[in-house]
Amino acid sequence: MPTLRTPALVLRAYDFSEADRVIVLFTQTLGKVKGVAKGVRRTASRLNGCLGWLSRAELQLAGRENQDLFRITQGQLLQSYPHLKENLPALGRAARMAELLFSLTHDHQPLPEIFELAETSLSLWDAGTDPNMVGTWFEWMFLDRMGYRPQVEVCQQCGNDTEHMSYHPETDGITCRACRPHGGIVLSAGTRKMLNKLIASHPTLLPSLRLGEDAQTQIQTLLDSIIRNHLGRPLKSDSFQRAVCDLK
């Protein structure tokens, strides 16, 4: 059986039988794939250490490229992000990331750029960067790279750029108050400036950016709305993230 090696992030794991686990991976070369890890539930298998949730490992997968379920035959842990896992607000944001990768990307859809975004986000969280800043950056960049990011520069009806604009999920765009006085998610000029800055900024600059409370709330509402539109439901990780977001 052919094998391939690829760096991979562990998105989630299921108990499969008494001894095996199925792991959903986000790989650098193949995008999202599933793999079975034989015997890891019963024995102190070396694979165990590589397959913890939100770990990054170099894995050997056996199976043809378009295989539904690979067999994970070998692995080497590259990074387990231990500080991230001790920081509940960061873990809440990372859980959202895992769910987005899990539920909005397709199996066998190579997305190397998004793999890099995810890897960078995990490292930033692990290094103690503001969890919300990193999470907001990841989600906005993710929507951009998936082709789901609405333009937030000018009114989609009249083309003007005014101080107060609102985003409307049903038209997936922003309008000014003259064109549509009511409804939608308010996005102030400052918030829209921040959204554009996020797209343009190199991740190394994220620790120096600050999200004001208003911008944070507006952007979060916007992200949740776009995600719900594409997913058809809110994120399941919401309840966990909300419970831990204020814990220090």
Partner 1 sequence: MDYFSGILGRLIDELGRMPGIGPKAAQRLAFFLLRQDAAVVQQLANAMLEAKAKIRPCADCFFLAEGERCHICSDPRRDARLLCVVEDPKDVFSMERTREYRGLYHVLMGTLSPLDGIGPDDLKIAELLKRLQAGHVQEVIVATNQDVEGEATALYLNKLIKPLGIRVTRLASGLPAGGDLEYADDITISRALGGRRELE
Residue ranges in contact with partner 1 by CB under 8 A: 11-12, 17-18, 40-45, 48, 52-54, 85-86, 88, 91-92, 95-96, 98-99, 102, 236-244, 247
155 binds Zn ion (CB under 5 A): yes
d(CA 194, CA 140) in angstroms, rounded, equals: 11
SS3 225: helix
d(CA 42, CA 230) in angstroms, rounded, equals: 39
Nearer to partner 1, 131 or 150 (CB): 131
Quote the least distance from Cβ 112 to partner 1, whole Å. Answer: 23
Quote the least distance from Cβ 164 to Zn ion, whole Å. Answer: 11
Q: Which does 195 bind (CB under 5 to 8 A by kind): partner 1, Zn ion, none?
A: none
Tokens of 112: 């190397």
β-sheet bridge partners, residue 21: 15, 37
Q: What sections of 53-182 are H helices per DSSP?
A: 82-85, 88-104, 112-126, 131-145
Residue span binding Zn ion (CB under 5 A) among the ranges 7-15, 118-126, 171-179, 199-207: 171-179
Do the strands 31-37 and 69-79 form a parallel or antiparallel pair, or are they unpaired? parallel
In this structure, the dihedral spanned by the alpha carbons of residues 100, 149, 57 and 108, taken in order and rounded to 10 degrees, is: 80
* Contact status, residue 199 vs residue 137, Cβ threshold 8 Å: no
Give the total of residues touching Zn ion (CB under 5 A): 5
Residue type, 139: E
158 binds Zn ion (CB under 5 A): yes
176 binds Zn ion (CB under 5 A): yes
Nearer to partner 1, 193 or 242 (CB): 242
Residues 6+ apart with CB under 8 A from 193: none
Quote the least distance from Cβ 97 to partner 1, whole Å. Answer: 11
Quote the least distance from Cβ 77 to partner 1, whole Å. Answer: 14
Among residues 122, 115, 120, 187, the alpha carbon closest in space to that of 146 is found at 115
Quote the least distance from Cβ 207 to partner 1, whole Å. Answer: 23
Q: Which does 230 bind (CB under 5 to 8 A by kind): partner 1, Zn ion, none?
A: none
Quote the least distance from Cβ 155 to partner 1, whole Å. Answer: 37
For the segment 178-197, give every residue that binds Zn ion (CB under 5 A): 179
Point out which residues bind Zn ion (CB under 5 A).
155, 157-158, 176, 179
